[in-house]
Amino acid sequence: MIVSEKIVHLAEEAERALAEHFARIDRVSFENTQRVMDSFREHRVCDAMFQSGSGYGYDDRGRDVLDEIWADVMGAEAALVRHSIVSGTHALTIGLFGILRPGDVMYSVAGKPYDTLEEVIGLTGNAGDGSLRDFGVDYAQTDLNEDGSFRFDEIGDKLRTMGKKIKMVFVQRSKGYLNRKTLSVAEIGELVKFVRSISPEVFVVVDNCYGEFVETVEPCAVGADLVIGSLIKNPGGGMAESGGYLAGTKRAVELASYRLTSVGIGAEVGASLGQNKLMYKGLFYAPHTTAQALKTAHLAAYIFEKLGYCVEPHWNEERHDIIQTVITGSAELLCAFCRGIQEGSPVDAFVTPEPWAMPGYSDQVIMAAGAFTQGSSIELSADGPLRPPYTAFFQGGLTYESGRIGIMAAAQRMIDV
Ligand SMILES: *Cc1c(COP(=O)(O)O)cnc(C)c1O
């Protein structure tokens, strides 16, 4: 790959400017690694836990202990971690259907949830397909303020006027495909306190995708009832081959487990099929891998900001997830960006990404992913819906070195347009 002198110098300049941020990221990674390793030691993780289970999967010690470790690491009472959860959307669906009943209201307080949840909730899609709406669950929403903070007044009014109908307050931590700020764990903690002061019974559920291990605490530790994410993002550490997790209070996790398998059976079955070791190894790596992705994001923010693009977060801002957005301003530049990322990937570097109508998304999407695990976005990957302002969302980088290569390639491709 040929990258101009300009980009090489820009990357070097960025690293000098980012030294303090990188040091802080390393400290967070150290603290999170310590928390993971303390839990491994306390739970006496050993080789026998990596054995493959089949059939019903009764008494799979590796699976059960991994759930306990996840609960610890997340600051939760209980957790469910399964390779058989096919995606983040699936994990979220399990949590939503596990808790909500006919007549209940799901109340999203951080604006519109992630695109793929629209059909799950019943905001789009066909009546009769089995969305929450089909089952008589209503949906209410409050957007964030212009500055990205919660609208506490409106949230308070809704909770008071709708009362017990609101069974769940739903918060998406990360920006997803929206041009907004990502919420910090501290902000989510404030929200939980506020919600509890009005409606102590409500379940606070957090879509934690892309937020894991970016800070030293997770939303469960500040009172969320259920926190949900994907193992092919941060917490799988680039090792887990598939899967998702739900962590939270005993009751919330139990309800989710009844939806995952069957009422009454819950988390006690489910063959591990040889996936335990990769999930353990993934959790072990996750704080470090997340740090690699964060450094890559900072680097990109610096480079693209210097090239004149609007980026979020800014290069010198502290982050609450691993996503970096670059507003490219045109379909052509968005595609160039994604093509550069693809070229700078370890797998499929020779292919050219094209926009397509992806199932579950309402606009055409272009994606770049040269990943060892299909669709893994803790690996360097980029995507963007083809709608103004043509924002590229990118994330990941299993190693900072490879992330740096991908970012330099993307910058070069955009200069070449
Ligand atoms: C990725 C993501 C999801 C959905 O995860 P998939 O694995 O793509 O189904 C949901 N919410 C947010 C914020 C995400 O980033």
For residue 248, report the distance from its CA to the centre of ligand 1, in Å: 19
Query: For position 362, what pLDDT does the model report?
Result: 78
* E strand spans, 40-180: 78-82, 105-108, 138-141, 166-172
What three-state secondary structure class fits 392?
Answer: strand
User: 176 alpha carbon to ligand 1 midpoint, in Å?
Assistant: 7
Residue nearest to atom 13 of ligand 1 (CA): 176
Using a pLDDT cut of 90, give the percent of the chain over it. Answer: 95
For the stretch 231-260, pLDDT in tens is 999 999 999 999 999 999 999 999 999 999
Burial (CB count within 10 angstroms: exposed 0-12, middle 13-18, buried 19+), residue 360: middle
Q: Provide residues with CB under 6 Å of ligand 1.
A: 87-89, 114, 116, 172, 174, 176, 207, 209-210, 230
Q: Kindly indicate the confidence band of residue 163, based on its pLDDT and cuts at 50, 70 and 90.
A: confident
Average pLDDT, rounded, for the chain: 96
> Hey, what domains does the chain have and what are their CATH numbers?
5-32+284-416 (3.90.1150.60), 52-274 (3.40.640.10)
**pLDDT recorded at residue 359:** 75
- Give 234 Cα–ligand 1 centroid separation in angstroms: 11
pLDDT category at 121 given cuts 50, 70, 90 is very high
Residue 360 pLDDT: 65
Q: How far, in Å, is the centroid of ligand 1 from the Cα of 385? A: 14
Span from the CA of 20 to the centroid of ligand 1 (angstroms): 30
**Which residue's C-alpha comes closest to atom 8 of ligand 1?**
88
Model confidence band, residue 210 (pLDDT cutoffs 50, 70, 90)? very high
Q: How far apart are CA 417 and CA 189, in angstroms?
A: 44
For ligand 1, the distance from its centroid to the CA atom of residue 209, given in whole angstroms, is 6
Residue-wise pLDDT for 283-311, tens only, equals 999 999 999 999 999 999 999 999 999 99
135 Cα: distance to centroid of ligand 1 (angstroms): 23
User: The whole model's pTM is what?
Assistant: 0.95
Atom of ligand 1 nearest to the CA of 174: 13
pLDDT in tens, 40-80: 999 999 999 999 999 999 999 999 999 999 999 999 999 99
Q: Could you give the 3-state DSSP secondary structure of residue 13?
A: helix
d(CA 317, CA 273): 42
User: Residue 155 and residue 151: Cα distance in Å, rounded?
Assistant: 6
Minimal CA–CA distance to 89: which of 252, 239, 229?
A: 229
pLDDT digits (tens, 9 = 90+) for 255-282: 999 999 999 999 999 999 999 999 999 9
Instruction: Give one DSSP letter per residue of 330-352, joined into a string.
Output: SHHHHHHHHHHHHHTSSSSTT--
Atom of ligand 1 nearest to the CA of 117: 10
Q: Which atom of ligand 1 is nearest to the CA of 210?
A: 15
377-395 tens-digit pLDDT: 999 999 999 999 999 999 9
Residue nearest to atom 5 of ligand 1 (CA): 88
Q: What is the rounded average pLDDT of the residues 100-110?
A: 98
Q: Residue 271: what pLDDT?
A: 96
Shortest-distance atom of ligand 1 to CA 323:
15
Please count the CA atoms within 13 angstroms of the CA of 324 that sit on its side-chain side: 34
How much is the pLDDT for 386? 93
